[in-house]
Amino acid sequence: MIPALIGLAAVLVLVLIRVPIALAMGLVGIIGYANEISLRGALSMAARLILDGARDYGLSVIPLFILMGLLVNISGMSREMYRAAHAFLGHMRGGLAMATISACGMFAAISGSSLATVSTMSRVAMPEMRRFGYDDALSTASIAAGGTLGILIPPSIILVIYGLLTESSIRALFLAGIVPGFLGVLLYIAVVALMVRWRPAIGPRGDRTPWPERLRSLSGIGGVIGLFVFVIGGLYGLLDFYPLHLRFSPTEAAGMGAMGTFLIALWRGRLTFRNTLGALSETAVTTAGLFSILIGAWIFSNFVNLVGMPEALVAIITENDLHPMTVMLIILLIYIVLGCVFESLSMMVLTVPVFFPVIVALGFDPIWFGIVVVIVIEISLITPPVGLNVFIMKSVVPDVSTGTIFRGVTPFWIADIIRLFLVVMLPFISLYLPGLLL
């Protein structure tokens, strides 16, 4: 176990001095493996993992979902989702912030990316909230917090990566993320309602939208709803009836979703050669980065397993007669602390290879643990000092201080802690749908 702890400390040090996480994990994994076996064996192991990863059909789901999210942005559907939410909620006190959170939830359902959700919705919602005199702390916090939903509500890139790291069912993970994701939307809206009740001036009422215009606004999100039903319905066999008989694998669902968003953007006249090339180029760059992180995580995981760290942790737990839930709470505390200094994806790929075997040995459900990990990662996205969503928000509205945004997200952070507690103590919140449909 000592070599694994030294290796883990080495990775942490390298990441803190700005060495890319993929390189840090891969380098430490190869050196550690070579120290235990031989340099030739370590290089052979790394080469095999790279070749196997390049040929893994399951990995093709990642670029397809990334492309789907980028095409959704190009198609202009994000603006229409906000417009629809605005039409129904904008006349309420704090209604524009509630509409922003609702639109973030809808955008998350087809983008799968937290950063894309924050970047897109900040440009759509922030000018409108400023026009009606909303407090900057509430405005920026509702976008930064709402953006965290992008990594939980399916399709989620983070859930796909967790499934690939742990060989868990991506179908089951997507289903398990639906209820906790929408619970997050409801808790965030409740936070806004409480904040404006306490301080009405921070979220004044907007204009009341007439009912005919509200109904017309729904037509703009028909494409979003249709796309979500098509992808998710095909993935879970809900469209497997005459005359459709549609049933997709996760990769096929990602491909159909990407093609659907492409056709919607084309039909709306939003596609140009330049933005199509830009979307494809960004997809390639993002995919290459994610693949390199995955391969680095696999190399490091092989080293950790070789030196027997998971077995040693289980032995320590058994010898000290620790209750499984006590161990789970310790792991969650470690995640929350790491979230203060680590970027979300880096934190997951670094810790899951260490904690996952322990969780399985203690009898916890791996699908449930995946949702718990993603919720903790959501919390890290708005936790100082490295809350990534906050800094994305800051880059879009540079005139608002980082301190103001962090002050605004604090109530949403508390709501996330409450949601984490509910999901941990009541596993059926995340496991009911997978059990029902699978």
Q: Could you read off the pLDDT of 252-262 as tens digits, one per residue?
A: 888 888 898 89
pLDDT at 143: 92
Flag whether pLDDT at 312 surpasses 80.
yes
Q: Considering only CA atoms, which of 344, 424, 366, 435 is closest in space to residue 114?
A: 344
Flag whether pLDDT at 169 surpasses 80.
yes
pLDDT at 190: 96
pLDDT at 378: 86
pLDDT at 140: 93
AA letter at 396: V
pLDDT at 215: 85
What backbone torsions phi and psi does residue 397 show, to the nearest 5 degrees?
-120, 75
Flag whether pLDDT at 128 surpasses 90.
no
Q: What is the mean pLDDT of the chain?
A: 87
Q: Which residues, at least 6 apart from 294, have a Cβ–Cβ distance to it below 8 Å?
A: 53, 59, 161, 164, 165, 349
Could you give the CA distance from residue 172 to residue 175 in angstroms, rounded to a whole number? 5
Flag whether pLDDT at 187 surpasses 90.
yes
| Number of neighbours of residue 385 by Cβ within 10 angstroms | 10
Q: Identify the weakest region by mean pLDDT among 116-125, 290-299, 337-346.
A: 337-346
SS3 246: strand
Question: Into how many domains does the chain fold?
Answer: 1
Between residues 209 and 115, the one the model is more confident about: 209
Flag whether pLDDT at 373 surpasses 90.
yes
pLDDT at 423: 96
pTM of the shown model = 0.87
13's tokens: 């040090």
pLDDT at 2: 82
CA angle 109, 113, 114 (to 5 degrees): 100
15's tokens: 């990441």
pLDDT at 212: 87
Residues 250 and 171: beta-carbon distance below 8 Å: yes
Residues 64 and 160: beta-carbon distance below 8 Å: no
Flag whether pLDDT at 416 surpasses 90.
yes
Beta strand spans in 215-369 (E): none
Between residues 246 and 360, the one the model is more confident about: 360
pLDDT in tens, 10-34: 988 888 788 888 899 999 999 999 9
Could you give the CA distance from residue 133 to residue 151 in angstroms, rounded to a whole number? 30
pLDDT at 131: 85
389 alpha carbon, distance to own chain's centre = 11
Q: Considering only CA atoms, which of 165, 197, 181, 36 is closest in space to residue 106?
A: 181
107's tokens: 């955008």
Could you give the CA distance from residue 159 to residue 180 in angstroms, rounded to a whole number? 13
150's tokens: 């992008």
AA letter at 289: G
Specify the DSSP class assigned to residue 58: G
Q: Identify the weakest region by mean pLDDT among 130-139, 185-194, 383-392.
A: 383-392
Q: Considering only CA atoms, which of 10, 4, 190, 192 is closest in space to residue 97?
A: 192
Could you give the CA distance from residue 200 to residue 366 in angstroms, rounded to a whole number? 43
Could you give the CA distance from residue 24 to residue 22 in angstroms, rounded to a whole number? 6
Q: Considering only CA atoms, which of 122, 137, 270 is closest in space to residue 195?
A: 137
For 181, the domain range is: 2-437
Question: Max alpha carbon distance in the chain (Å)?
Answer: 73
What is the sign of the dihedral through the CA atoms of 414, 420, 426 and 428?
A: positive
Exposure string of 97-118, with b = 16+ CB inside 10 Å and e = fewer, is: bbbbbbbbbbbbbbbbbbbbbb
For the residues 402-423, what does the mean pLDDT come to? 93
pLDDT in tens, 48-75: 988 887 777 778 888 888 888 888 878 8
| Residue 198 burial by Cβ neighbours in a 10 Å radius (0-12, 13-18, 19+) | exposed
| Number of neighbours of residue 323 by Cβ within 10 angstroms | 10
pLDDT at 176: 95
**Which run of H or E residues covers position 402?**
helix 402-425
pLDDT at 366: 95
131 alpha carbon, distance to own chain's centre = 30
Flag whether pLDDT at 220 surpasses 80.
no
Query: How many residues are recorded in the chain?
Result: 438
pLDDT in tens, 82-104: 888 888 888 888 998 999 998 88
